[in-house]
Amino acid sequence: MPIDPRRLELLSALSRKVLWLSSWTIHHANHIRPNVDGLKVGGHQASSASLATIMSALYFSVLRPEDRVAVKPHASPVFHAIQYLFGNQTRDKLKTFRGYKGAQSYPSRTKDIDDVDFSTGSVGLGVAQTLFSSLVQDYVSAHGFMKGRREGRMIALVGDAEMDEGNIFEALLEGWKHGLRNTWWIVDYNRQSLDAVVREGLWEKFETMFRNFGWDVVIIKYGKLMQAAFAEPGGEALRRWIDNCPNQVYAALCFQGGAAFRKRLQDEIGDQGEVSALIERRNDAELLALMSNLGGHDMANMLEAFEAIDHDRPVCFIAYTIKGVGLPFQGHKDNHAGLMTPAQMEAFRDAQNIRPGHEWDKFEGLAQSPAELEAFLKDAPFNRQGPRRLETPTIPVPERLSFPAAAQMSTQQGFGLILNELARGDSELASRIVTASPDVTVSTNLGAWVNRRGLFAKAALADVFKKEKIPSTFAWDYSPKGQHIELGIAEMNLFILMSALGLSHSINGARLLPVATLYDPFIERGLDALNYACYQDARFMVAATPSGITLAPEGGAHQSIATPLIGMAQDGLASFEPAFVDELAVIMRWGFAHMQRDLDDKGSARDGTRSGGSVYLRLSTRTIEQPQRIMTPDLARDIEDGAYWLRKPGPNAEVVVACTGAVMPEAIEAVGLLGDSRRDVGLLAISSADRLHAGWTAARKMRRERRGAPYMSHVEKLLAPLPRDCGIVTVLDGHPAALGWIGAVCGHRMEALGVEHFGQTGSIDDLYRHYGIDANAILDAAEGLTAGAPVRHRKMAV
């Protein structure tokens, strides 16, 4: 169907306005706002300009309220300009673009006010996020959680160099396995990256690859002007020339302008006949307009391409563009951080008919009436349903999570048992849990949960082994009702899926409680994706197991040292490393509630720490003796806050041991052995170094802000009664710095034991001895901190 000319005219006008506003935003940040530190705000203008037409087509016309978009990081000024025209972004925030509390340089779900669907910035991640969001939408739909909402398209605006990021290809594979639908990736094929010009012929590789994975591929190369010129006599020769022109040369000519194009064309294809006439019919400006009229800059073309899609298969659009189009540095290879000079800006302003002082006026300089433009914007389908962030009630969390107690257990085993108990019941909580694992479902103890709740797939598929009555511990039936999403090994995919599942309450209006399992060392493989998931405030639980050097039988290469520090340092992630399974049950219960709390829920954070977020459980396969005790509310609260006295120190304590996680038996043994020669020895069980530390930091801040407030954090309350000269030995199976700060809380001397090197294989005993976290190492450290006779009893070598 031909596009209504009035609609085309309005959209083209708005798209020019978007290019102006985005350019002005950057210019303002550099030349007009007092720039105290003298730094230039680069990196956006050229990259944004590439997408002004495509994004205007999408937001002002093509997008529906249920669609969600990941915008290429450097198109942020274009995104903000569009939202400004919609009335969702303020002039003040644009004026302080990249400044304190201003509009963000990369669209941010949490920091921007203008309806960002997915935070981007680390290239590649936003692209894959749309794919996983689409799978999550399928999950929500199959489980009957859509409540009549229409399915949306998950759309990524992708830089062509962004396609170098491996995580995109990992996601592509996973999408194919799960029958991906409703996903559009629009590649801004400007053939430029940050430093360079993209390799020749790359799109052919993309095309074959996407088609291979079942995607529809739409190539939008020539704009309408070009198409019309190709129909003129000599047009075919022009098309051939364009097709054969190397990326570098085309980019350079776009920068040099119409006269340069003319010379080049005349030299190379000027035949003194039809082609020459075709060229000569245009003056320099017209020739440049023709040669810059690549498909991605032609509104009519883009609308047609988008509106022609009549199926829900995934689509990759490859839209030819010119980086910096319409700006003085268009096509220049150094344009990534290019800025217009004040003189260039003035010329650009004049060309747009914008009066000085009216730069921010929404419709200044446009020929169409403001009333008509305003009405058009108001009527954009994108805006028709009001706020696009959906609200969902929280899912009740039971008072306690139960598990069959046993005298000896590992935390990993406990994790499996707790989930199995949930799977057996019929709580709403259990119905909203979605588990996922990158090929380590069984080895991380999720097997029992999966046996009961099944695997998710859009089409049912029975477990062949079960059908054939071949004995197996696992019954893996796939169905649309299944609650486990089995992934390939790629950990990036796991965390991007967590990010997508963990935003479902806001994106799909259906709250899910995602739980991921993986081996602890491989957190590092997916770290950036984990970081971005937290950055956009997705809510999920990660059980990482086995961990540390305690995973001894797994071998040296799998040992993890840095993860306790990652857990502490990762914003938005509360990390725990329980020693015992009853602690884990408390933590998981707390975790399911924490995953659902709003960030501004002041009432829930009793200690000034973050009120809601994701949760990381660092678990172990080491079977250890479990305490026989009643979980009192006080004990549970201490565990949630990060620590409790497993053995309370006496009033004259000379030394205490503070321990986290799987090395607890060594700490218990050392405390026992110390008892003969040191007075009143205590044992502090630390369930979360992260929460303990965060509480301490928050308390100091609170005291500074409200001078004299008597507020004490949990760790201060625990350590304050210790005599000044009491020593503290900390120990964990991880980097010692994770607990190395504890001495500073009340000014106690301390020694921090932990693991700083890795790779040695051996039994747990061998490794604890080798790395110095066994009972004797604790005794040595205690001795070094205290006066008095040498410790009498030591652990005998076995």
Ligand X SMILES: Cc1ncc(C[n+]2csc(CCOP(=O)(O)OP(=O)(O)O)c2C)c(N)n1
| Residue 381 zone, left/alpha/beta (φ > 0; ψ -120 to 50; rest) | alpha
Q: Which stretch binds Mg ion (CB under 5 A): 25-33, 155-163, 664-672, 722-730?
A: 155-163
Q: Which is nearer to ligand X, 194 or 308 (CB)?
A: 194
CB of 203 vs ligand X, minimal distance in Å: 13
Q: Which is nearer to ligand X, 190 or 545 (CB)?
A: 190
Question: Which of 181, 70, 119, 136 lies closest to 493 in space, CA to CA?
Answer: 136
Nearest-5° Cα angle at 654, 648 to 655: 65
CB of 323 vs ligand X, minimal distance in Å: 5
CB of 760 vs ligand X, minimal distance in Å: 33
Say if CB 323 and CB 47 are below 8 A apart.
yes
Q: Which is nearer to Mg ion, 317 or 580 (CB)?
A: 317
Residue 50 contact, options Mg ion, ligand X, none, Cβ 5-8 Å cut-off depending on partner type: ligand X
Q: Which is nearer to ligand X, 189 or 576 (CB)?
A: 189
CB of 94 vs ligand X, minimal distance in Å: 20
Tell me which residue has its CB nearest to ligand X: 159
Q: 430 vs 81, 296, 419, 483, 590, CA distance in Å?
A: 43, 47, 8, 9, 15
Q: Which is nearer to Mg ion, 188 or 359 (CB)?
A: 188
CB of 444 vs ligand X, minimal distance in Å: 28
How far apart (Å, rounded) are the C-alpha atoms in residues 743 and 169?
47
CB of 44 vs ligand X, minimal distance in Å: 9
Which residues within the stretch 158-187 sit at the binding site for Mg ion (CB under 5 A)?
159-161
Residue 162 contact, options Mg ion, ligand X, none, Cβ 5-8 Å cut-off depending on partner type: ligand X
Q: Which is nearer to Mg ion, 89 or 190 (CB)?
A: 190
Please give the DSSP secondary-structure letter assigned to residue 459. Answer: S
Q: Which stretch binds Mg ion (CB under 5 A): 190-198, 241-249, 593-601, 615-623?
A: 190-198
Secondary structure of residue 32 in the 3-state scheme: helix
Provide the β-strand partners of residue 438.
487
Provide the β-strand partners of residue 183.
154
Q: 309 vs 62, 304, 312, 316, 777, CA distance in Å?
A: 11, 9, 8, 11, 67
One of 120, 192, 596, 614 touching Mg ion (CB under 5 A) = 192
Say if CB 85 and CB 191 are below 8 A apart.
no
Say if CB 627 and CB 580 are below 8 A apart.
yes
Residue 506 contact, options Mg ion, ligand X, none, Cβ 5-8 Å cut-off depending on partner type: none
Question: Which of 169, 459, 213 lies closest to 313 in space, CA to CA?
Answer: 213
Q: What are phi and psi for residue 705, nearest 5 degrees? A: -70, -40
Where do contacts with ligand X occur on this chain (CB under 6 A)?
47, 50, 73-74, 121-123, 159-162, 188, 190, 192-194, 323, 336
Q: Which is nearer to ligand X, 119 or 412 (CB)?
A: 119
Residue 122 contact, options ligand X, Mg ion, none, Cβ 5-8 Å cut-off depending on partner type: ligand X
CB of 122 vs ligand X, minimal distance in Å: 4
Count Cβ atoms within 10 A of the Cβ of residue 120 and give its class: 0-12 exposed, 13-18 middle, 19 or more buried: buried
Residue 227 contact, options Mg ion, ligand X, none, Cβ 5-8 Å cut-off depending on partner type: none
Q: Which is nearer to ligand X, 193 or 508 (CB)?
A: 193
CB of 119 vs ligand X, minimal distance in Å: 12
Binding mask 697-736 vs Mg ion (x if CB under 5 A, - otherwise)? ----------------------------------------
CB of 284 vs ligand X, minimal distance in Å: 26
Q: Which is nearer to ligand X, 180 or 319 (CB)?
A: 319
Q: Which residues contact 699 (CB under 8 A, 6 or more apart)?
A: 607, 608, 711, 712, 713, 716
CB of 198 vs ligand X, minimal distance in Å: 7
Secondary structure of residue 573 in the 3-state scheme: strand
Residue 73 contact, options Mg ion, ligand X, none, Cβ 5-8 Å cut-off depending on partner type: ligand X
The separation between the first and the last C-alpha atoms of the chain, rounded to the nearest angstrom, is: 83
- In the chain, DSSP finds a helix count (H) and a strand count (E) of 33, 20
CB of 160 vs ligand X, minimal distance in Å: 4
Helix (H) or strand (E) holding 269: helix 258-269
Residue 509 contact, options ligand X, Mg ion, none, Cβ 5-8 Å cut-off depending on partner type: none
Q: Which is nearer to Mg ion, 159 or 642 (CB)?
A: 159
Residue 688 contact, options Mg ion, ligand X, none, Cβ 5-8 Å cut-off depending on partner type: none
Amino acid identity at 546:
P
Provide the β-strand partners of residue 159.
188
Residue 74 contact, options ligand X, Mg ion, none, Cβ 5-8 Å cut-off depending on partner type: ligand X
Paired sense of beta strands 433-438 and 513-518, if any:
parallel
Q: Which is nearer to ligand X, 336 or 594 (CB)?
A: 336
Q: Which residues contact 411 (CB under 8 A, 6 or more apart)?
A: 545, 578, 579, 580, 581, 584, 617, 619, 620, 661, 662
How far apart (Å, rounded) are the C-alpha atoms in residues 366 and 17?
8
Which residues within the stretch 57-96 sit at the binding site for Mg ion (CB under 5 A)?
none
State the DSSP string of 339-374.
Answer: ---HHHHHHHHHHTTPPTT-TT-TTTT-SS-HHHHH
Indicate whether 190 belongs to the interface with Mg ion (CB under 5 A): yes
Q: Which is nearer to Mg ion, 251 or 433 (CB)?
A: 251
CB of 336 vs ligand X, minimal distance in Å: 6
Q: Which is nearer to Mg ion, 66 or 160 (CB)?
A: 160
State the DSSP string of 136-149.
Answer: HHHHHHHTT-STTP
CB of 293 vs ligand X, minimal distance in Å: 19
Residue 47 contact, options Mg ion, ligand X, none, Cβ 5-8 Å cut-off depending on partner type: ligand X
Q: Contact positions toward Mg ion, by CB under 5 A? A: 159-161, 190, 192
